[in-house]
Amino acid sequence: MAKNEGSGLIPSKETLSRCRVLVVGDVMLDRYWFGAVDRISPEAPVPVVRVTSEQDRLGGAANVALNVTTLGARATLLSMVGCDDAARSLRRLLAEKGVDAVLGEDPQLQTIVKLRVIGRSQQLLRVDFEREPAHEVLAQMLSDFEQALPHHDVVLFSDYGKGGLAHIPRMIQLARQAGKPVLVDPKGSDYARYAGATLITPNRAELTQVVGAWPDEATLVQRAESLRTALGLQAVLLTRSEEGMTLFDAAGHWHEPAQAREVYDVTGAGDTVIATVAAMLAAGLSMRDAMTLANRAGGIVVGKFGTAHVSHEELCA
């Protein structure tokens, strides 16, 4: 791995430019329709949005990869898409943003699109276009994964529960055998499939789904440690919105209070957090130092609108 040559805690741009993160997971296209709202529909008590502009953004694991590259590191995205217009838009955006992408095509797969209708700077409606795959789509890309492994410092799995990562134990096993740190942004109630990973980053709702609600901090510490031990994880990083984030590892637990001055939109904040941790671990930082910077990045991104990311300059400011 590249060593930290930056001044202070944050690695330099030169150091980060030599770091490579392999991002594997569910990709989607975030589509925004912006418009003016001047009246209520005569057909139903809903606002009429006169669309004035449209914008496509990278979503899901593609947004995670973009967060890695925006920080200054290099990212390779491994995923599957359908043979449709949304897939073509994703490929174009990834190329424009400098994200290396290995995207397999499956004619049976519908590329996921999340359409958000925005009026008066507020999200009025979200429409999801998706279809659960009838088979494990990423399993057929296992050989691509094995070929990419030696050329990356960290492996990051971005699980959005869309079926793309139904069988990731083998990929985690291969990555750990290759000596690569494995980070997982988890989904669902079955965390057993993430066993052996280096770090998982659930939010409060996701962790509650697995270990149950905790009445106090002592119970949380006990349950997080039990989960960490049972799955053979090096650490669990719990993101807690306005409460900041807490890292549970073999040395105990470490808390960072939230740094957001103003929360505007939490869309994609989890993507920014795990991408920052991955880039910083690749640059040679400790888990706790990486968490400190991820907390700072998360505080910046929630002050932006929609699926956003944080630059190296913003992190240093």
Instruction: Please state whether beta strands 100-105 and 27-40 pair in parallel, antiparallel, or not at all (unpaired).
Output: unpaired
Q: Which two tokens stand for residue 33?
A: 């329709």
Burial class (CB in 10 A: 0-12, 13-18, 19+), 218: exposed
> HEC states along the chain?
CCCCCCCCCCCCHHHHHCCEEEEEECEEEEEEEEEEEEEECCCCCCEEEEEEEEEEEEEEHHHHHHHHHHHCCEEEEEEEECCCHHHHHHHHHHHHHCCEEEEEECCCCCCEEEEEEEECCEEEEEEEECCCCCCCCHHHHHHHHHHHHHHCCEEEEECCCCCCCCCCHHHHHHHHHCCCCEEEECCCCCHHHHCCCCEECCEHHHHHHHHCCCCCHHHHHHHHHHHHHHHCCCEEEEECHHHCEEEEECCEEEEECCCCCCCCCCCCHHHHHHHHHHHHHHCCCCHHHHHHHHHHHHHHHCCCCCCCCCCHHHHHC
Contact 57, 30 (CB under 8 A): yes
- CA–CA distance, 278 with 272 (Å, rounded to integer): 10
Question: Is 144 annotated as catalytic?
Answer: no
Task: Name the active-site residue from 26, 185, 271, 289.
Answer: 271
- CA–CA distance, 134 with 32 (Å, rounded to integer): 28
- What residues are annotated to the active site? 271
